[in-house]
């Protein structure tokens, strides 16, 4: 979900003889009504038309929630292989989208419940059944959004812990390697001093120095391996 999240409010005005929809941009939701793709749609049945718009909105929320879940699973699979910031940022963007979804769905739920109880709109029995179906669909979308949000949040926390643990392992390994490499340097420093030292007059002094360095480094490596630092 690399695309920018866009929030577009849709206003619906119902008068005695007309129903007016107001939106800043053309949206696919209303385009389906224009193209006659929505069954049971009739503009002269204003209440039914309103409820069909709400029902179409709820189904689109469910569709996009499934797409978000599918995308999060793809990013999670990529994280298993790469552990890069790009994937974590992708999960963060999905989580932000779910927050917007949840907020919008809860607002819609409040409006729908008020419409169900209100007598200001003329409603037939089939209209009330349709509105109840819309409320059920919207509630299902809310629950799905909450579930996906919790899963996504847990996934991000888990991968953050994994990345932190991997960093600790690398730092521990580098510290162990530094200790092993420091011992030959220390031995060489002793033999580089202008004081009397063993093997300074021996033709094999350099070889003896290398052997001593190797012994110290090997001993340090064995100790670190035993302590599981290597």
- Supply the angle between the helices 125-191 and 46-81 in degrees, to the nearest 10: 20
pLDDT of residue 42: 67
Which CATH architecture is the domain 10-162 placed in?
A: Up-down Bundle (1.20)
Say what the pLDDT of residue 6 is: 66
> Exposure of 146 by Cβ count < 10 A (0-12 exposed, 13-18 middle, 19+ buried)?
middle
Give the per-residue pLDDT at 140. 92
Residues 86-98: pLDDT tens digits? 777 888 888 888 9
Nearest to 97 by CA among 35, 10, 5, 189: 5
List the chain domain ranges. Answer: 10-162, 170-226
Burial class (CB in 10 A: 0-12, 13-18, 19+), 119: exposed
Tell me if residue 22 falls in helix, strand or coil: strand
The pLDDT assigned to 36 comes to 72
Pick out the chain residues at pLDDT < 50: 1-3
């Amino acid at each position: 979900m690399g695309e920018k999240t866009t929030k577009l409010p849709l206003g619906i005005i119902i008068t005695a003889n007309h129903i007016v929809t107001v939106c800043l941009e053309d949206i696919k939701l209303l385009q389906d009504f224009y193209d006659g793709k929505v069954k049971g749609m009739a503009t002269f049945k204003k209440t039914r038309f309103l409820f069909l718009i709400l029902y179409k909105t709820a189904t689109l929320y469910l569709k996009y929630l499934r797409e978000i879940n599918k995308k999060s699973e793809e990013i999670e699979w990529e994280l298993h292989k790469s552990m890069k910031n790009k994937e974590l940022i992708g999960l963060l963007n999905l989580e932000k989208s779910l927050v917007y979804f949840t907020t919008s769905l809860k607002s819609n739920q409040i409006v729908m419940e008020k419409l169900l109880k209100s007598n200001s709109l003329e409603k037939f029995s089939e209209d009330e059944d349709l509105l109840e179906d819309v409320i059920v669909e919207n509630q299902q979308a809310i629950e799905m959004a909450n579930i996906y949000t919790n899963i996504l949040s847990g996934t991000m926390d888990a991968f953050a812990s994994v990345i932190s643990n991997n960093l600790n392992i690398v730092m521990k390994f580098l510290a162990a390697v530094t200790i092993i490499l420091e011992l030959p340097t220390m031995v060489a420093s002793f033999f580089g001093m202008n004081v009397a030292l063993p093997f300074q007059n021996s033709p094999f002094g350099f070889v003896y120095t290398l052997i001593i360095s190797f012994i110290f480094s090997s001993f340090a490596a064995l100790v670190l391996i035993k302590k599981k630092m290597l």
